[in-house]
Structure formats: structure tokens, C-alpha cells
């Protein structure tokens, strides 16, 4: 069993973690096309090489980001999500919709 280094809890058996998928950017839900939204919701990039993934330490429910090489399954580094998501996300209703 692999060991995953949790930024909060240190190295733990990977069995204690839950995989949360690749870190992708949500397209603006009020402005993107149907196809863009469909890609975001349903498609995985399935990249070969180093990708950023969401992982959650299940016992503490701590979410963080891991960089993993999908061809070797080697986990290169892990860090808090705040290193990637530095600013608050806000959503706004497009002009034409806000009237209705």
C-alpha cells in the first residue's frame, strides 16, 4: 500500500484517503457553452504525466492537492489547496437574466 503525505497529518497509508479527481477549473456556469459545461462535468482529461489531483484525508476530512505522475503512480508533492486557490470565488447572474 502506498503512503501519501498529507500536509495536515503527515505520511499515512493511502487507504485513509479519498481521491477527488483532477484539479480542473470550473468554467463560468452562467456564460460558458453547453459543450464546455458538459466537458467540465463529465469528462476526465486522462493525462499521462504529472497532474494535480484533489485528495481528502478521510479521517479528518482535510482536502489538499497532490501532484502525481499517472504513468509511474509516483506522488511528487502535496500541499494545501490554498496554494492554488488563493482568492475567493464569486458567481454573478448575467445582466439579461438578473431582470427575470
Partner 1 sequence: MTTSHRLPEPFGLYIDRSRTLGFDFEGRHYSGLAGDSLGSALAANGVKMVSRSFKYHRPRGFLTFAGLDCNSYVQFGDEPNVQADRLVLTDGLSASALNVSGSLENDRDAYLGHFSRFLPVGFYYKTFFRPKGAWAYWEKIIRRKAGLGNVDKKTPHGYYDKAYLFADVCVIGGGPAGLSAALEAGKTGAEVILIDEEARLGGSLNYAFGAGGQERASKLAAELAKFDNVTVLNPALCTGWFADNWLAVIQGNRLYKLRAKQVVLASGSVEQPMVFRNNDLPGVILGSAVQRMIRLYGVRPGSRAVVCTGNDHGYRVAQDLRDAGVEVVAITDLRNEEAKCVEAGALAAQGLRILSGHTVYEAIPERGKRGISGAVIDSITGEGEVSGSGETLACDLIVTSVGYAPLAQLMCHCGGRMKYSDALHAFELDERPKDAFFAGSVDNGFDLEAALAEGAQSGWSAAKTAGAKVGKEPAKPGAKGAEGINYPWPIFPHPEGKDFVDFDEDQTVKDVINAVADGFEDVELMKRYTTVGMGPSQGRNSALNSVRLTNKANGRGVSGSTTTTQRPPFKPESFGHLAGRSFDPERLTAMHHRHVEAGAQMMLAGAWYRPAYYGRKADRLACIEAEARNVRNNVGMIDVSTLGGLEVRGPDAAEFMNRMYTWAYKKQKVGRARYLLMSDQTGAVVDDGVACRFSEQEFYVTATTGGVDGVYRAMLRWNAEWRLKVDVANVTGAYAGFNIAGPNSRKVLEKLDCDMDLTAEGFPYMGVREGRIAGIPVRLLRVGFVGELGYEIHMPASCGEALWDLVMEAGAEFGIKPFGVEAQRLLRLEKGHIIIGQDTDGLTTPAEADMLWAVGKKKPFFIGKRSLDIMAEARPLERKLVGFTLPGDSPVPEECVLVIKGDRIVGRVTSAARSEACGGIVGMAYVAPEDAVPGKSFNIKLEDGAYIYATVASIPFYDPDGKRQEL
- Binding residue count for partner 1, defined by CB under 8 A: 34
**Binding status of residue 89 toward partner 1 by CB under 8 A:** yes
| Among the listed residues 9, 22, 37, 70, the single contact to partner 1 using CB under 8 A | 37
Q: What is the Cα–Cα distance from 15 to 8, expressed in whole angstroms?
A: 16
Q: What is the Cα–Cα distance from 84 to 23, expressed in whole angstroms?
A: 10
| Among the listed residues 53, 63, 67, 70, the single contact to partner 1 using CB under 8 A | 63
Q: Which three cell numbers stand for residue 37?
A: 459545461
Q: What is the Cα–Cα distance from 3 to 11, expressed in whole angstroms?
A: 6
Contact call for residues 21 and 12 (beta carbons, < 8 A): no
| Among the listed residues 56, 67, 70, 79, the single contact to partner 1 using CB under 8 A | 56
Binding-site ranges for partner 1 (CB under 8 A): 1-3, 13, 18, 20, 26, 29-30, 32, 34, 37-38, 41-42, 54, 56, 58, 61-64, 73, 81-82, 85-89, 91-93, 98
Amino acid at each position: 500500500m502506498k503512503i501519501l503525505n498529507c500536509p495536515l497529518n503527515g505520511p499515512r497509508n493511502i487507504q485513509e484517503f479519498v481521491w477527488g479527481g483532477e484539479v480542473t477549473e470550473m468554467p463560468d456556469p452562467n456564460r460558458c457553452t453547453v459543450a464546455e459545461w458538459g466537458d467540465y462535468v463529465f469528462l476526465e482529461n486522462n493525462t499521462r504525466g504529472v497532474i494535480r489531483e484533489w485528495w481528502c484525508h478521510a479521517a479528518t476530512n482535510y482536502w489538499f492537492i497532490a501532484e502525481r505522475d499517472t504513468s509511474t503512480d509516483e506522488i511528487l508533492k502535496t500541499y494545501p489547496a490554498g496554494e492554488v486557490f488563493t482568492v475567493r470565488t464569486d458567481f454573478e447572474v448575467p445582466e439579461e437574466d438578473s431582470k427575470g
